[in-house]
Amino acid sequence: MSAGEVLVVGAGPAAQRFAERLRHHGHRGGVTLLGAEPQAPYQRALLSCVLDGTLPAPALALPALPAGTRLHTGVTVTRIDRARRLAYGDDGSVHPYDTLVLATGSRAVVPRIPGLPAGAAAALRTLADARRCAGGPRGAAVVVGGGPLAVESAAALRRAGHETVLVHRGPHLLDRHLDAAGGVLLTRGLEDLGIEVHTGRTAVGYCAGKLTLDDGRVLAADTLLLCTGVVPETGLARRAGLTVRTGVVVDGLLRTDDPHIHAIGDCAEHPGDTAGHLEPAWAQAESLARTLTGTPVRHLGTRRITRLRVPGVDLVVLGRGGPAPERAEVVAFSDPARRRHARLTLHGGRITGAVLLGLPRAIAAVSRLHELDLPVPAGRLEFLLGIAPAAPGADALPDEAVVCRCNNVTRHTITEACRSGAADVAQVAAATRATTGCGGCTDAVRALCRALPAGRDAGPDVTPRDRRDAPPTPAGPAADQDHGPGDPAGATDEPGRAPRRSGER
């Protein structure tokens, strides 16, 4: 099977990962990426690092595309001629293809706030958004939204010196991920960081740097950031006559109803995946790259993992949340005084869902067992409190396990770096970029360095799971989350679609 000339519409992390894996698996034909933004692919998961100044904007750049890959930035594809297999750019360019991959990502949903002029608020979907917010006055900042991106952005603005207020229309923060008890404790944790939180409130007006809420309260808003959900970029696919529901509908081989057109990342709708998270995008990129190079791989979906990357607030959600299904075993406890909360959903003793807040040891242990699909020990409470040993150590995960999720660095890559002479975390980071994102994988990388001294072979490749035992350094937004693995402006879209809030990024 030959994919021939491959054209990718979009130049975000999903497109970059796909191009890299396509070359890795032996594709020898042409590969072209068309991105609407002026930059080469960068890590959207780290945009809040630009907000708080932890990282300069250039540090978000993803590794260079493989040799021979053509990248055209600043090009929005407006039309596809499926019969002639041509894509037309808004700059007058015409691009032929044998195989077309849509990786157009998602765009922010901006609420209508009376009196809010164009450009007075940012949505934090692009590097330009982050730069604009970071370059604004150090004063009062208001973040509207209650998902992971909103929470992480509020924390980043607070770290940058802003007096920060978070406004969410839902009953509690992360209400699509947490139960009420967990939401209350999360709010208290953010208040401990100096963030003022208003839930159950909506913005009803804006005037001269002030935001009015529906209860009559007026908030100073020198900086206004809107993190109120995203929708897939599907306008190009609709105009081409492809089947679209919430996203571009794809099958197990990530094909649309045109066999020459595929879709990956946030713009794709696959029943086994949740948009707004990086893991599904990377897994889809890998599966499609294998398929197009002669080894068809049916993509079955990925497990949903949501990590909140706020220093001082340890939170992980596994699975889809919500009420436990029938015949499930539920283990839960709450310790408000110490800001600790846990809820495990088990089937046959194995974890199918989890919410863990303020329990770094349990987060590491539960994440490993969930990754390996291993049973939870009989002493459930002792397990959650970290009293009893419960999870495999550094030799538990397979070679292909992703250790650094921000930069998609596997255990194998880290092992090879150690075998080539990297002796500590800093040297592994220089060789692989692991730990240079949110820093949440630092403990795992350190453990691998100890287990495999520089230059020594250690037999089978295994690694611990990416952990959150220590505060991230530097801090960044959620990654598995989502922040849009596609290019949010890689194609034009139609207005008026309902928000897609599965990741609320």
Q: What is the CATH number that goes with domain 402-451?
A: 1.10.10.1100
Residue 493 has pLDDT above 50, yes or no: no
User: pLDDT value at position 424?
Assistant: 87
User: pLDDT value at position 24?
Assistant: 94
DSSP state of 171: S
Higher pLDDT, residue 384 or 325: 384
48 in the Ramachandran plot: left (φ > 0), alpha (ψ -120 to 50) or beta?
A: alpha
Mutual orientation of helices 425-432 and 442-451 as an angle, nearest 10°? 110
Q: State the pLDDT confidence band at 389, using cuts at 50, 70 and 90.
A: low
Residue 150 has pLDDT above 60, yes or no: yes
Lowest mean pLDDT among 24-28, 54-58, 393-397: 393-397
Residue 224 has pLDDT above 90, yes or no: yes
Quick check: pTM over 0.75?
yes
DSSP sequence for 275-295: TT-HHHHHHHHHHHHHHHTT-
Residue 439 has pLDDT above 70, yes or no: no
H or E element in which residue 447 lies = helix 442-451
Q: What is the C-alpha separation between 154 and 149, in angstroms, rounded?
A: 8
Higher pLDDT, residue 441 or 59: 59
Higher pLDDT, residue 458 or 74: 74
Mind listing the pLDDT tens digit for each residue in 329-365?
A: 999 999 999 999 999 999 999 999 999 999 988 888 8
Lowest mean pLDDT among 89-103, 153-167, 183-197, 477-491: 477-491
User: pLDDT value at position 342?
Assistant: 95
pLDDT average, residue stretch 293-298:
93
List, by residue range, all CATH 3.50.50.60 domains of the chain: 6-107+231-292, 127-228
Q: State the pLDDT confidence band at 423, using cuts at 50, 70 and 90.
A: confident
- The label of the residue with tokens 């002030």 reads 210
User: pLDDT value at position 286?
Assistant: 94
Residue 480 has pLDDT above 50, yes or no: no
Mind listing the pLDDT tens digit for each residue in 157-212?
A: 999 999 999 999 999 999 988 989 999 999 999 999 999 999 999 999 999 999 99
Mind listing the pLDDT tens digit for each residue in 109-133?
A: 999 999 999 888 989 999 999 998 9
List, by residue range, all CATH 3.30.390.30 domains of the chain: 313-385
User: pLDDT value at position 505?
Assistant: 40
Residue 291 has pLDDT above 90, yes or no: yes
Q: Order across the sheet with 163-168: list the strands.
A: 196-199, 163-168, 140-144, 223-226
CA 102 from chain centre, in angstroms, equals 18
User: pLDDT value at position 500?
Assistant: 36
Higher pLDDT, residue 65 or 475: 65
User: pLDDT value at position 328?
Assistant: 87
Lowest mean pLDDT among 6-10, 274-278, 409-413: 274-278
DSSP sequence for 87-99: EEETTS-EEE-SE
Mind listing the pLDDT tens digit for each residue in 128-145?
A: 999 989 887 789 999 999
Q: What percent of the chain has pLDDT over 90?
A: 57
Q: What is the CATH number that goes with domain 313-385?
A: 3.30.390.30
List, by residue range, all CATH 1.10.10.1100 domains of the chain: 402-451
> Long-range contacts: 365-368, Cβ < 8 Å, 24+?
365/390, 365/391, 366/316, 366/318, 366/391, 367/305, 367/316, 367/318, 367/465, 367/466, 367/467, 368/392, 368/396, 368/397, 368/464, 368/465
User: pLDDT value at position 489?
Assistant: 41
User: pLDDT value at position 455?
Assistant: 60
Please state, rounded to an integer, the average pLDDT across all residues of the chain.
Answer: 85
Which listed CATH number (3.40.50.970, 3.40.50.2000, 3.50.50.60, 3.40.50.10470) goes with 6-107+231-292?
Answer: 3.50.50.60
Which class does domain 127-228 fall in?
Answer: alpha beta
Higher pLDDT, residue 283 or 490: 283
Higher pLDDT, residue 321 or 57: 57
User: pLDDT value at position 324?
Assistant: 64
3-state helix, strand, coil in the chain (%, to 5): 25, 25, 50
Instruction: Say if CB 360 and CB 338 are below 8 A apart.
Output: no
Q: What is the C-alpha separation between 277 and 286, in angstroms, rounded?
A: 15
Structure tokens at 224: 């206004």
